[in-house]
């Protein structure tokens, strides 16, 4: 039994311009201590998926439906709001993309750290303080006692992100949702933060959902990678095989658009042609079909399901033409074709 | 050599760095408030403005205690506004007022007005006295027997006033019982431990004696067993004074009663058998018999000095009940004259304390007088009370209603926000001047009823209107701020941390809005003061003889004419108002800076 089981999660927003299906039938499992990468371009529904898990989709206009979202055998969608609130920050924590704006500028670090404990654990102020010091120490912040009394603007970006991580981990949550945790940081700090997350995961056994559009980060961190496009999962596979051989044209395109050191320095960087579709006006078929080089006739009318491309294979792909991708695909080949 | 080299290049940077390090070390770990306070103190202008405003507020609160003339004491003898008389130019009363040598007895009568140089209790605005009117057939009757008679009953010194013909061909003789030094509160009279409640024994109406039901105040009294339960009756807010009615029969000799008066709260029916004042009990004549257990109360009758003061109506009752006055004169009635409008308990207390402290001494017209001869300084001080009260009311309204309403509306968003903001729009669109005029008209129409039953007078209307208007803009401002804050990541973070909505609202959003709120408040307060001035100018706000800065400004503008410039009527009120508003603005600025954590530890 997995820690978190999501089956057929759907989130739609009823707007004036029609129904936007931000998340459309996403299913995945998360095991204890596992890192799940969630990849996709902006607007593909990654963040909405996470917010839906935490019950934070504003309603109206949002509507969340699912066959089941089970966290430790409890159905998250059926929980009363108060129960869900107790779960948030306690069992499921989250860290944000931009550490610069994710801390309340008016409260000290200590105040914000102890607030989590205050909300979820019955601890005295002194204990909370001690826990906060330990938490800061855990994420490698020097002289944590002094930091407790400082305000967010007195810390650097990396420090603040560490504080956010410390805050998220203070209650020893089962799941940590990291929503692009390193996007706003420079590369050296990125590495430190990722290293820190991996280290903490090993020590606490926390499962991580790592949302990012940085494929390098995903490759280094994740056990399993889910690729989202237009609110749907298009591919789900263990990290290594996915990067070795993507079985969905969108994944392939994403991989091709990563600049590599051994590539031709003169060549133009590859980009997927076209624009992401309007989520309010999705057709019958595959959402990626208009931008896809592999598209065949039925792609426009029929929606591919997320299935193992070969029977028994431990990965899933939602593409009719995954066999062609397997045969051989390289950006170079594509360039020639273009 | 090397050190010399160093010295030459030392521009004090190291010193600076050391100082900075030291200071930053000292300031680490301060709470936001400590830091704000420190930085506010560092900001000289703001700090002194705060001190100024504080002193000013204190002054206006202590107005009855200050030895200044009454703000409503008229003196039209000069026929014009008088220039400021600086302290060193005006002869002020030297020493105490000696009632035996005080001249002009004949002038001491209602409507007879003062000699300016000698400020004193009797003839200047500080008139706090009971004036008795006697009707007599001829002018020849000497006043002395009358005086003796009154003093005998009242147990205090009285003064002979003027004699005037009345309409019926007879004469009116005035006699005054002024408040004097002995009427000031004494230590043993100080109402310590006042519970603020009225305790009465209530009896069915049928058993009540004819006439006025009596009741009294009881302060912290241990009651023996066996007495009927004391009923605690909350004193209505409007009941400012509690009157003690003592009929002559059981009044111990020399006790002249109590200075606390009140109208009986309407919901108390019946009568008391015993009146307790400060633990001193008086049985009531014609009241129900005292319960046997009352004997255990160990009632003490107070010696004369302990209960002093002018007990106006009780006095008249006593005079009527006493032996008939000397032949030729009949008691017509009495009025209680007060140099002020109706004052609350605290103000009355301060007034008495003033007599105890300063006696009859009071300042001259340091800032001149207006054309009706009222002292301008006194009017400014008393007027500031209105302005400050109005400002506080508006400030409290916009803080409480505006911030909570706006924050809630902004946070909820969607339909709720829409509805709430439309309500604000509707209130905005109401032409409040018309509403004020409408309400004031109603109040004037049903004046007595509204004032007696509901305690609604013009000032209350005024405050209601201010309460209705001044939170609107604040609500909008706060809502806008909250809308922009609501989607900021740290609010999202708080939500994800599992914080509840009220916690997010009051723990995260409101503090972030506070700097804007403070700045807006410092704009609101002057605006309200001006609004008050405007309404008073239209004759819809504060009514003369009460005074407010708006009225003063109004008077000042009237006083400027081509023939004679009464500069003091403009300069002093304007200076008072201007300096207050300026101080508020500078303070607001300083507060905003001081509350900004980004400037923390800096100067």
Q: What is the pLDDT of residues B335-366, one digit of tens each?
A: 766 556 666 778 877 877 776 677 656 677 78
Closest residue in A to B509 (Cα) is A104
B221 and B256 in contact (C-beta within 8 Å)? Answer: no
Answer positive or negative: Cα dihedral of B25, B26, B29, B35: negative
Contact between chains at B498 and A105 (C-beta distance less than 8 A): no
Supply B392's token pair.
Answer: 């506080």
Domain extents for chain B? 105-179+315-358, 181-309, 376-599
- Range among B186-200, B251-265, B355-369 rated most confident: B355-369
Numbered residues of chain B with Cβ closer than 8 Å to any chain A Cβ: 28-30, 32, 413-414, 488-490, 492-500, 503, 507-508, 511-512, 597-598, 600
Helices (H) and strands (E) in chain B, counts: 19, 8
Q: How much is the pLDDT for A186? A: 78
Cα B432–B435–B439 angle (5° rounding)?
A: 140
CA distance B518 to B294: 58
As a whole-number percent, the residues of chain B with pLDDT over 70 amount to 57
The answer to whether the CB atoms of A89 and B492 lie below 8 A apart is no
Distance CA B201, CA B222 (A): 15
Determine the distance in angstroms separating the CA of B589 from the nearest CA of chain A, rounded to an integer. Answer: 18
Nearest CB to B496 within list A88, A146, A151: A88
Pinpoint the alpha helices (H) of B221-326. 312-321
For testing contact with chain B, the best of A104, A109, A112, A121 (most B CBs within 10 A) = A104
- Inter-chain touch B29–A146, beta carbons under 8 Å: yes
Q: Are strands A35-39 and A207-212 parallel, antiparallel or unpaired?
A: parallel
**Does the beta-carbon distance from A146 to B28 stay under 8 Å?**
yes
Chain A hits for B500, Cβ within 8 Å: 85
CB contact under 8 A, B499 and A115: yes
B73 confidence band (pLDDT: 50, 70, 90):
low
**Residue B490: closest C-alpha in chain A:** A102
Interchain contact A211–B (C-beta under 8 A): no
Look at A261-275, B28-42, B306-320, B551-565 and tell me which has the smallest mean pLDDT. B306-320
Helix and strand numbers (H, E) in chain A are: 12, 12
Tokens standing for residue B388: 């400050």
- Contact (Cβ atoms closer than 8 angstroms) between residue A259 and residue A271: no
Tell me, what's the pLDDT at B184? 38
Where do we find the tokens 């032996």?
A: B323
Tell me the CATH architecture of domain B376-599: Orthogonal Bundle (1.10)
CB contact at 8 A, B73 and B356: no
Contact B489 A96 (CB under 8 A): yes
Place of tokens 């300069």: B571
- Interface check A153 vs B, CB under 8 A: yes
Q: What is the pLDDT of residues B88-101, one digit of tens each?
A: 654 333 333 333 33
| Pairing of the two strands A92-95 and A74-75 | unpaired
Region B495-507: mean pLDDT is 83
Query: How much is the pLDDT for B223?
Result: 40
What is the share, in percent, of chain A residues with pLDDT greater than 90? 1
Tokens of A204: 């606490």
Is pLDDT of A25 > 60?
Answer: yes
CA A77-A81-A82 angle, 5° bins? 135
What tens digit of pLDDT does each residue of A181-202 get?
Answer: 877 777 887 888 888 888 888 8
Residue labelled with tokens 């707007």: A15
Do the beta carbons of residue A20 and residue A279 sit within 8 Å? Answer: yes
Q: Which residues of B125-144 are buried (b: 16+ CB within 10 A; e: fewer)?
A: bbbbbbbbbbbbeeeebebe
Over A159-225, what HEC string results?
Answer: HHHHHHHHHHHCCCCCEEEEECCCCCCCHHHHHHHHHHHHHHHHHHCCEEEEEECCHHHHHHHCCEE
* pLDDT(A170) > 90: no
Has residue B587 got a pLDDT over 50? yes
Within 8 A by CB and 6+ apart from A196, the residues are A139, A140, A162, A165
pLDDT number for residue B597: 65
Question: How far lies A183's CA from each of A102, A165, A230, B346, B494, in Å?
Answer: 14, 14, 21, 65, 21
Say if CB A252 and CB A270 are below 8 A apart.
no
Is residue A173 less than 8 Å (CB to CB) from chain B? no
């Amino acid at each position: 039994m997995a820690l978190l089981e999501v089956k057929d999660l759907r989130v739609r927003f009823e707007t004036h311009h029609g129904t936007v299906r931000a998340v459309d039938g996403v299913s995945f499992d998360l095991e204890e201590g596992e890192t799940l990468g969630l990849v996709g371009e902006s607007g593909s529904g990654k963040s909405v998926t996470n917010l839906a898990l935490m019950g934070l989709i504003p309603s109206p206009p949002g509507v969340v439906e699912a066959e089941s979202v089970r966290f430790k055998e409890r159905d998250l969608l059926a929980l009363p709001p108060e129960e869900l609130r107790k779960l948030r920050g306690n069992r499921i924590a989250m860290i944000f993309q931009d550490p610069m704006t994710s801390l309340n500028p008016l409260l000290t670090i200590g105040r914000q750290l102890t607030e989590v404990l205050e909300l979820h654990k019955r601890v005295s102020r002194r204990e909370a303080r001690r826990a906060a010091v330990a938490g800061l120490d855990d994420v490698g912040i020097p002289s944590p006692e002094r930091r407790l009394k400082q305000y967010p603007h007195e810390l650097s970006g990396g420090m603040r992100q560490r504080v956010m991580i410390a805050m998220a981990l203070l209650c020893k949550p089962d799941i940590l949702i990291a929503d692009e945790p390193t996007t706003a940081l420079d590369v050296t700090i990125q590495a430190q933060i990722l290293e820190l997350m991996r280290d903490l995961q090993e020590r606490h056994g926390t499962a991580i959902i790592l949302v990012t559009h940085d494929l390098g980060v995903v490759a280094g961190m994740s056990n399993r990678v889910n690729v989202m496009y237009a609110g749907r999962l298009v591919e789900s596979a263990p990290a290594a095989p996915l990067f070795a051989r993507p079985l969905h044209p969108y994944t392939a395109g994403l991989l091709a658009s990563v600049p590599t050191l051994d590539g031709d320095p003169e060549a133009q960087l590859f980009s997927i042609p076209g624009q992401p579709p309007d989520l309010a006006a999705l057709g019958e078929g595959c959402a990626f079909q208009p931008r896809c080089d592999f598209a065949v006739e039925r792609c426009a009318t029929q929606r591919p399901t997320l299935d193992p491309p070969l029977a028994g294979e431990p990965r899933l792909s939602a593409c009719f033409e995954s066999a062609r991708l397997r045969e051989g695909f390289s950006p170079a080949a594509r360039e020639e074709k273009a | 050599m090397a050190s010399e080299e160093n010295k030459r290049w030392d521009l004090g940077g190291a010193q600076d760095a050391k100082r900075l390090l030291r200071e930053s070390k000292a300031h680490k770990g301060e709470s936001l408030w400590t830091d704000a306070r420190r930085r506010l103190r560092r900001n000289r202008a703001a700090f002194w403005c705060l001190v100024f405003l504080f002193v000013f507020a204190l002054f206006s609160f202590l107005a009855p205690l200050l030895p200044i003339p009454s703000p409503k004491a008229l003196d039209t003898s000069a026929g014009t506004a008088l220039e400021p008389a600086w302290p060193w130019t005006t002869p002020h009363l030297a020493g105490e007022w000696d009632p035996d040598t005080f001249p002009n007895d004949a002038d001491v009568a209602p409507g007879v007005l003062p000699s300016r140089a000698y400020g004193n209790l009797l003839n200047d605005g500080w008139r706090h006295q009971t004036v008795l009117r006697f009707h007599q057939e001829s002018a020849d009757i000497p006043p002395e027997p009358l005086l003796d008679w009154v003093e005998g009953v009242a147990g205090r010194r009285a003064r002979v006033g003027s004699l005037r013909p009345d309409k019926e061909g007879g004469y009116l003789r005035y006699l005054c019982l002024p408040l004097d030094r002995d009427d000031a509160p004494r230590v043993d009279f100080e109402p310590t431990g006042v519970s603020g409640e009225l305790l009465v024994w209530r009896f069915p109406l049928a058993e009540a004696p004819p006439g006025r039901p009596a009741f009294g105040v009881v302060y912290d009294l241990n009651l023996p067993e066996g007495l009927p339960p004391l009923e605690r009756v909350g004193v209505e807010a409007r009941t400012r004074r509690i009157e003690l009615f003592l009929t002559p029969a059981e009044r111990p000799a020399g006790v002249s009663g109590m200075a606390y008066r009140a109208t009986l709260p309407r919901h108390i029916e019946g009568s008391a058998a015993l009146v307790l004042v400060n633990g001193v009990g008086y049985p009531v004549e014609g009241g129900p018999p005292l319960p046997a257990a009352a004997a255990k109360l160990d009632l003490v009758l107070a010696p004369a000095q302990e209960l002093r003061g002018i007990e106006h109506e009780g006095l008249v009752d006593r005079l009527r009940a006493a032996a008939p006055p000397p032949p030729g004169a009949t008691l017509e009635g009495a009025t209680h004259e007060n140099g002020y409008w109706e004052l609350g308990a605290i103000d009355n207390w301060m007034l008495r304390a003033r007599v105890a402290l300063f006696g009859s001494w009071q300042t001259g017209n340091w800032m001149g007088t207006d054309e009706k001869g009222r002292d301008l300084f006194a009017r400014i001080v008393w007027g500031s009370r209105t302005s400050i009260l109005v400002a506080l009311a508006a400030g409290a309204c916009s803080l409480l209603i505006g911030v909570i309403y706006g924050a809630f509306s902004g946070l909820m968003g969607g339909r709720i926000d829409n509805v709430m903001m439309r309500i604000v729009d509707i209130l905005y669109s109401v032409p409040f001047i018309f509403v004020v005029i409408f309400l004031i008209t109603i109040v004037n129409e049903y004046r007595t009823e509204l004032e007696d039953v509901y305690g609604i007078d013009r000032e209350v209307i005024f405050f209601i209107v201010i309460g209705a208007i001044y939170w609107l803009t604040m609500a909008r401002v706060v809502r806008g701020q909250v809308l922009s804050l609501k989607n900021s990541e740290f609010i999202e973070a708080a939500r994800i941390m599992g914080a509840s909505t009220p916690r997010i609202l009051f723990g995260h959003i409101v503090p972030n809005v506070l700097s804007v709120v403070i700045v807006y408040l410092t704009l609101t307060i002057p605006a309200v003061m001006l609004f008050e001035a405007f309404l008073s100018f239209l004759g819809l706000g504060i009514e003369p003889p009460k005074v407010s800065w708006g009225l003063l400004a109004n008077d000042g503008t009237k006083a400027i004419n081509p023939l004679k410039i009464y500069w003091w009527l403009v300069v002093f009120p304007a200076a008072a108002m201007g300096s207050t508003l300026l101080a508020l603005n500078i303070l607001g600025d300083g507060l905003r800076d001081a509350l900004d954590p980004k400037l923390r530890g800096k100067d």
